[in-house]
């Protein structure tokens, strides 16, 4: 029976992808992937390319990066309708997502729209924050320590509470609010406890101690902060 496969392709390096994911990618008839802004392959497609077969049809779709819920919903519904048609036509369809399919993934919204109409299978991937811990050679948590993963788009007051209540904190999507976060960490005397990894596992990966930056520093889009108190 044909299915929709939600496939996590890991943080960036094409070798950091599971054996199961490579097998699924190789058997796909159709693959849905985001349209890259620079006219090149999306990061997820670049990661998956070594494992694609020559007959797979690539369908690039626009996923609006906006907080307008109605605009995003309209886009998701159009893509979901296309996916359902493809699967019901007898095709194995793939949907790639960076990192893991269950962590801040657009796939979760598509899944919700299609899962009552077609069969869905999810293939987990290595999360970006697991990779940054490996890069830094630091455990995310030990013994009874807590770990919380938070989008930096939350109000700064909520982020402060998360920092206060947890031993270890992963802050996703930090580029959009770095100035506020930097000032908060400075106020809490946690600059030396905080590290940014940008473009994890990619050729242009950078490890950036937050203490070396200032509130006006520009942070690459694919950046995550690890705070270890």
Domain final position from 77, 92, 123? 123
What's residue 39's pLDDT?
A: 63
Q: Do residues 118 and 11 both lie within one domain?
A: yes
What's residue 35's pLDDT?
A: 81
Domain final position from 88, 123, 158? 123
Q: Do residues 153 and 195 both lie within one domain?
A: yes
- For residues 87 and 59, the answer to whether their CB atoms sit within 8 Å is no
36-57 pLDDT, tens per residue? Answer: 666 667 899 999 999 999 999 9
What's residue 186's pLDDT?
A: 97
CATH, residue 65? 3.40.1010.10
Number of domains into which the chain is organized = 2
What's residue 154's pLDDT?
A: 94
Q: Hey, what are 185's tokens?
A: 């960490």
What's residue 1's pLDDT?
A: 81
> CA 112, 33, 53, 47 torsion: positive or negative?
negative
Which residues lie closer than 8 Å to 131 by C-beta, 6 or more apart?
10, 11, 12, 16, 197, 200, 201
Q: Do residues 134 and 118 both lie within one domain?
A: no
The residue ranges of the chain whose pLDDT is under 70 are 36-40, 66
What is the chain's percent helix, strand, coil content, to nearest 5? 35, 20, 40
Q: Which residues constitute the domain of residue 141?
A: 128-228
What's residue 38's pLDDT?
A: 63
CATH, residue 180? 3.30.950.10
Give me the helices (H) in the chain, please.
19-26, 43-48, 69-88, 107-114, 128-136, 156-165, 178-187
Q: Do residues 67 and 137 both lie within one domain?
A: no
């Amino acid at each position: 029976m044909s299915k929709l496969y939600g496939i996590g392709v890991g943080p960036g390096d094409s070798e950091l992808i599971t054996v199961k994911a490579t097998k699924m990618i190789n058997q796909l008839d159709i693959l849905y992937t985001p349209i890259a802004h620079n006219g090149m392959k999306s990061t997820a497609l670049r990661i998956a390319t070594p494992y694609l077969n020559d007959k797979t049809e690539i369908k690039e779709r626009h996923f609006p990066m906006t907080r307008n819920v109605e605009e995003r919903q309209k886009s998701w519904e159009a893509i979901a309708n296309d996916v359902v048609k493809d699967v019901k036509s007898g095709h194995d369809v793939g949907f790639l997502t960076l990192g893991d399919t269950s962590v801040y993934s657009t796939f979760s919204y598509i899944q919700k729209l299609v899962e009552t109409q077609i069969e869905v299978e999810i293939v987990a991937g290595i999360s970006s924050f697991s990779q940054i811990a490996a890069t830094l050679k630091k455990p995310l948590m030990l013994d009874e320590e807590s770990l919380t993963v938070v989008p930096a788009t939350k109000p700064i007051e909520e982020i402060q509470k998360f920092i206060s209540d947890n031993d270890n904190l992963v802050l996703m999507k930090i580029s959009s609010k770095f100035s506020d976060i930097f000032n908060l960490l400075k106020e809490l005397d946690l600059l030396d406890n905080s590290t940014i990894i940008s473009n994890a596992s990619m050729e242009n990966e950078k490890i950036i101690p937050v203490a070396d930056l200032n509130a006006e520093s520009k942070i690459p889009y694919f950046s995550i902060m690890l705070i270890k108190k």
